[in-house]
Amino acid sequence: MVESMNRIMKELKNNKAFNYIIMLSAVITLIISLMGGCLFFFYYSTIYDDYTTANDEYLSSIVNRHENDIQIITDIVSQIGISDTITEFKLNEKPLISIEVEQQLHQYFSVSQFFEQIFLLFHEDTYLYNNSTSVQIDRFMDSGVVLEDTTKEEMKSLLYSEERGLKVLKEQEIKGYLVQKYNGTDSKAVTFFIPIAPKYEATVMFVVGNSYYDTLLASQEEKRETYIVYENEVIIKRGSLEIDDDSIVELLSKNKEADEVTIQNEKYYATIQQGESGITYCTLQSVSVFHKKILYNRWIYLFFLLFVSMPAAIAMIILTKKAADRVRKISTLLNEDKNTEYGLDKIENGILALIENNIEVKNASRSLGKSRLIGKFIRGEYNDRASLIEAGKLVGLHLEKKYFVVALLGDRGNSNASEVYGMMTSKFHEDRIIDGYGINLVSHNQSLLVFFGDETEDLKKQLKKVFEIGKEMCEDTIMSISEYHTEIEEASQAYLEADTAFDNRFLVDNSDIICFADINGKEVDNRLPDMYMPVLKNAIRSGSEEKIADAVHEICSYLQSRQQSLLSFRMLYNDILQVLIREWRPSDSSFKHFYSVFTLSQCLTVKDFSDLLCEACIMLIGNVKNDENTEQSKMETAVEYMMGHFHNPDLTMGFLAEYLKMSAVTLSVEFKNYMEMSPSEYLTLLRMEKAKELLKETEKRIKEISIAVGYEDDHVFMRRFKKYTGKTPAQFRNEFLENNKQ
C-alpha cells in the first residue's frame, strides 16, 4: 500500500500536476485570506457608518423641526411688530383694543403645534394678553403662570427686558390657573422670551409644554441621551444616560463637530449641530452599542468565510481551465503557425493593432466632443466654471485657466481650408500654457476659435501664431477677437464682441488682427431697468400674445430712446433670453434650434430683435402653463382677486389674507414662492401698468387716474409712479404723445 502511494506521488511530481495543485492551493488560500481581511474591514466600516449615520440623521431631524418652530415664533414676533392691528396701548385707556389683540393672537395660537400659550406685554402697560384674555402682571406671576425654579423678579426682568435676541428658561415645573385652563396635562415647560423690534418696548412670551419635547426627542435606541443647549445652559434633555449638565456644557465648549469623546471614563459618540437660532443640539450614545453589534455578528462573519472558501477554490480551478481554453482559441485565430500552442506573440500583436484602431476612433470622437463643448460654451449652456472644466477633461481639454478670448476667421477662399484649420487647432496642443478648440460656422462662412490661458500676454502670442498660419496659407485671411474675459457667463457676450469686430473689417485695416477693444468707441451698456423684466414675465404667465407684444415693444422703445448700439441690443437680448430660459427651462428641443447666440448675431434691425423675443416668449407659454398647474389654488385665487380689485384703496395684505382665510405670514411666503414677488410688489405692478394704460389711452387728469388705480392721495401715486418708471405721469404721457406724432 505504501509503495503504491509513493508511486502515485512520484507520477504526479513527474507530470508537474502536484506542483500545480500546491501552487493553486497556495494562491487560493492567499486570496481567501485577503478577501476575509477586506470583508472584515468592509463589515466593520459598514456597521460603524450605520452607527454614526443613524446618530447624525436622528439629530438632523430634531434640528430641522425645532429650528423651523423657532423661526415660526420669530416670524410671529416680526409680524406683530409690523401689524396695523396690534399697536402699543394701555388697557385702562383703550380697553376695546384688547379684543383685537386677543383675536390676532388667536390666529397664531390656533395654527401652532409648537407652543401651548402665547403672551404679549407692552412695557408701558401692566397687563399681559393672550389669545383668550388679559391678566394683570402681578396676578400673572402670583397665580397665573408659576415656574418652580424661576422667581417673580427673574420672570419680571425677562418680560420687561429691552435687550435684543432670544431668551430661554430651561424646562421646569409649571403651575397656575392659566396653565390648568389652557395647557392640558403638561406639568413642565420651556419658556421663550422675544422682544419686539425695532423699539424693543414690548415682549412676547411663548410657553412650550414637555409633551412637545417628549415627542421630538423620543428614541428607541439604548444608551442615548439628547440635549438642547442655549447660552451654556442645558434647557432640555431626554434619554437613559445619567450625565450631569456641566459635563455636557464643557464638552460643547471644546467640540463643534461629531466625534468620539470620553465622559466619566465612559466612551460616547457625540453628534453636535449648531442651529441658526444660536441653539446647540447634541446627542450622546455609548460606543458600547457599536461594539455590541460587532460582537453579535462575529460568528455569522466566520461562518460566511468558511462557507465561501471551498466554492471559491473550486471556482478558481474552473476559471483557470476556461481561461486557458480561451487563450488557446485566440491563439488559433491569430496565429497561422498551428504548431505553436499558445502563440502569445501573435496575440500581443493583434491586441496592439486593436488598440491603435481604438485610439484613432477615440481621437475622432474627442474632436467631435471638443467641437460640441465649444458650441455649448458659446451658447452659454455651462452654468459654472466647475462644470465647464469637468466637461473639458472628458474630451482632453485643460480649461483651468483664468482668461478666455473668442476669435473669428473669415472665409480664406482656399481649397485646403480644412488643412489650414487643422494646423490652427493643432497649435493649442504644443504646450499646456494655452488650450482651447474651434468650430466651423458653415452658415456664417466663418471659423470660431476659443483660447484659454492664465496670462493675456500668452493669449496674444498664440493668437498671433494662428493668424500668421492663416496669412501664410491664404493672404486674404481676416481675424477678429473679443476682449479678454474671466467669467464663463460672458461667453456669449465675447462671441458678439468678436462678431461686431468682424463686421468692421471693411472700415479698418484688416492686415492685422481686428480687436473689439480698438473699434469699440462707446462703452456697452447692457443693463435693463428692473421694472421691465417683471412685466415681461407676467405677460408670459398670462398667456396673452398681445401683452407679450406690448412688453417687448416697451423694452425696444426704452433701448431706442437710449440710442443703444447694435452690439448693446444683441447683448441685452441675449441676457433677457437667458433669464427666461433658466426660469422655465423649455423641454422642447426645437427651442434651442430656434434661439442661440448665433441666431442673435444675424439680427440687424429693431424689428428683427422684437420678432425674435416675441416668438421666444410665445414658445415659452406652454412651459409656463405646465408649471402653473402644479401651484396652489389659493395663490391663483389671490392673483385673480388682486387683478379684479387692485383699484380698491382698502386692499391690503391683511384684507387679502382674511379673504383667503389664511394668516398674513403664510400668504406672504406662499405668494412669493408662487409669483417670485411679494403681494405688495404685485399690487404695485398691477396699479402702475393700469396707470400707464390710462395715461396713453385717455385724457383723464392725474388725480382721476390716481383714484382709478387705488390711490386716494395723488401725491403718493406720483411718487410711486416715478419710482416705478423713472418719470412723472405727466412726463410719461408727453413722451408717449411725442413718439406717436413722430
For residue 485, what is the DSSP state?
A: B
Three-class secondary structure of residue 286 per DSSP = strand
**Residue 637 in this model has a pLDDT that exceeds 90:** no
- For residue 189, the model assigns a pLDDT of 92
Q: Which of 125-134, 411-420, 601-610 has the lowest mean pLDDT?
A: 411-420
More confident residue, 522 or 691: 691
More confident residue, 131 or 631: 131
The mean pLDDT of 701-726, rounded to a whole number, is 88
The pLDDT-based confidence of 18 (bands split at 50, 70, 90) is very low
Q: What does CATH list as the number for 633-741?
A: 1.10.10.60
The mean pLDDT of 351-374, rounded to a whole number, is 68
Within 8 A by CB and 6+ apart from 509, the residues are: none
Query: Which region holds residue 485: left if phi is over 0, alpha if psi is between -120 and 50, else beta?
Result: beta
Say which residue the cell 407679450 belongs to.
548
- For residue 255, the model assigns a pLDDT of 82
Task: Output the average pLDDT for the chain.
Answer: 78
The pLDDT-based confidence of 233 (bands split at 50, 70, 90) is very high
Within 8 A by CB and 6+ apart from 116, the residues are: 182, 183, 184, 186, 189, 207, 208, 209, 212
Do 363-519 and 633-741 share a fold? no
DSSP 108-139: HHHT-SS-SEEEEEETTSSEEE-SS-EEEHHH
**Residue 20 in this model has a pLDDT that exceeds 80:** no
For residue 712, what is the DSSP state?
A: S
- For residue 588, the model assigns a pLDDT of 54
Span 132-161, pLDDT tens digits: 888 899 899 888 899 999 999 999 999 998
User: What is the b/e burial string over 212-222, where b = at least 16 CB atoms within 10 angstroms of the residue's CB?
Assistant: bbeebbebeee
Span 87-99, pLDDT tens digits: 666 666 677 777 8
Say which residue the cell 462573519 belongs to.
301
Q: Give the cell for residue 299.
A: 460568528
- For residue 628, the model assigns a pLDDT of 46
- Domain ranges for the chain: 363-519, 532-628, 633-741
For residue 430, what is the DSSP state?
A: S
For residue 136, what is the DSSP state?
A: E
Peptide bond into 198 cis (omega under 30): yes
Span 309-362, pLDDT tens digits: 667 656 666 766 666 566 566 666 655 555 544 445 555 666 665 566 565 556
Cα R_g (the chain), whole angstroms: 38
Span 213-228, pLDDT tens digits: 999 998 888 888 999 9
> Dmax over Cα atoms in the chain, in whole Å?
129
The pLDDT-based confidence of 403 (bands split at 50, 70, 90) is very high
Report the sign of the C-alpha dihedral through residues 439, 442, 443, 444, in that order. Answer: positive
The mean pLDDT of 658-666, rounded to a whole number, is 77
Strand 127-129 versus strand 117-122 pairing type: antiparallel
CA separation for the pair 488, 493 (Å, rounded): 10
615, amino acid identity: E
Q: Which of 271-275, 394-398, 596-600, 672-676 has the lowest mean pLDDT?
A: 596-600
Chain centroid to CA 9: 72
For the entire predicted model, the pTM comes to 0.41
- For residue 426, the model assigns a pLDDT of 61
DSSP 211-278: HHHHHHT---SSSEEEEEESSSSEEEEEES----HHHHHHHHHH--S-EEEEETTEEEEEEEEE-TTS
**HSE-CB of 45 using CA atoms within 13 angstroms:** 6
- For residue 608, the model assigns a pLDDT of 75
Span 541-572, pLDDT tens digits: 777 788 888 888 888 877 777 666 777 777 77
| Cβ-based burial of 562 (10 A; exposed 0-12, middle 13-18, buried ≥19) | exposed
- For residue 157, the model assigns a pLDDT of 92
**Residue 694 in this model has a pLDDT that exceeds 50:** yes
Max mean pLDDT range (226-230, 434-438, 473-477): 226-230
Q: Which residues are paired to 479 by β-bridges?
A: 409
Within 8 A by CB and 6+ apart from 440, the residues are: 421, 446, 447, 448
The pLDDT-based confidence of 631 (bands split at 50, 70, 90) is very low
- For residue 227, the model assigns a pLDDT of 94
Please check whether residue 649 is in contact with residue 682, taking contact to mean a CB–CB distance below 8 angstroms.
no
CB atoms within 10 A of CB 18: 15
637, amino acid identity: T
Cα distances (angstroms) measured from residue 52 to each of 55, 242, 270, 271, 456: 5, 21, 9, 8, 50
Please check whether residue 224 is in contact with residue 239, taking contact to mean a CB–CB distance below 8 angstroms.
yes
Q: Helices 729-741 and 679-697: crossing angle, nearest 10°?
A: 50
Nearest to 379, CA basis, from 489, 263, 486: 489
The mean pLDDT of 665-675, rounded to a whole number, is 76
**Residue 4 in this model has a pLDDT that exceeds 70:** no
Span 26-80, pLDDT tens digits: 776 777 677 767 776 777 788 888 888 888 999 999 999 999 999 999 999 888 8
Fold of 363-519: Alpha-Beta Plaits (3.30.70)
363, amino acid identity: N
CA separation for the pair 632, 310 (Å, rounded): 63
- Altogether, the residues listed in the chain come to a count of 742
Three-class secondary structure of residue 649 per DSSP = coil
More confident residue, 7 or 295: 295
24, amino acid identity: L
Three-class secondary structure of residue 124 per DSSP = coil
Within 8 A by CB and 6+ apart from 233, the residues are: 168, 170, 245, 249
For residue 444, what is the DSSP state?
A: G
**Residue 280 in this model has a pLDDT that exceeds 90:** yes
